[in-house]
Amino acid sequence: MNTKIAIIGGGSWGTALAQTLGKNGHKVALWDIDTNLVKNMKKDRENKKYLPNIILNDNVELVSDVSVGIKDANIVLFAAPAQRFRSALENALEYLTEDMIVVNVAKGIEIGTHKRMSEIAEEIIPNMSYVVLSGPSHAEEVGQGLPTTVSAASKDNDAAVLIQHIFSNETFRVYTNEDIIGVELGGSLKNIIALGAGISDGLKYGDNAKAALMTRGIAEMKRLGVKLGANPETFSGLSGVGDLIVTCTSMHSRNRRCGIMIGEGMNPEEAVEKVGMVVEGMYTAEAAYELAKITGVELPISEGIYKIVHGDIEAKEVAKLLMIRDKKDEMLIY
Backbone angles phi, psi at 79, to 5 degrees: -120, 30
Catalytic pick from 190, 210, 222, 307?
Answer: 190
The string over 16-42, giving b where at least 16 C-beta atoms fall within 10 Å of a residue's C-beta and e elsewhere, is bbbbbbbbbebbbbbbbeeeebbebbe
* Adjacent-strand bridge partners of 134: 151
Closest CA to 58 of 27, 99, 17, 80: 27
Q: Is 39 a catalytic residue?
A: no
Whole-angstrom Cα distance, residue 217 to residue 212? Answer: 8
Phi then psi for residue 312, to 5 deg, are: -85, -20
Distance (Å, whole) CA 324 – CA 7: 48
Active-site residues, by number, are: 190
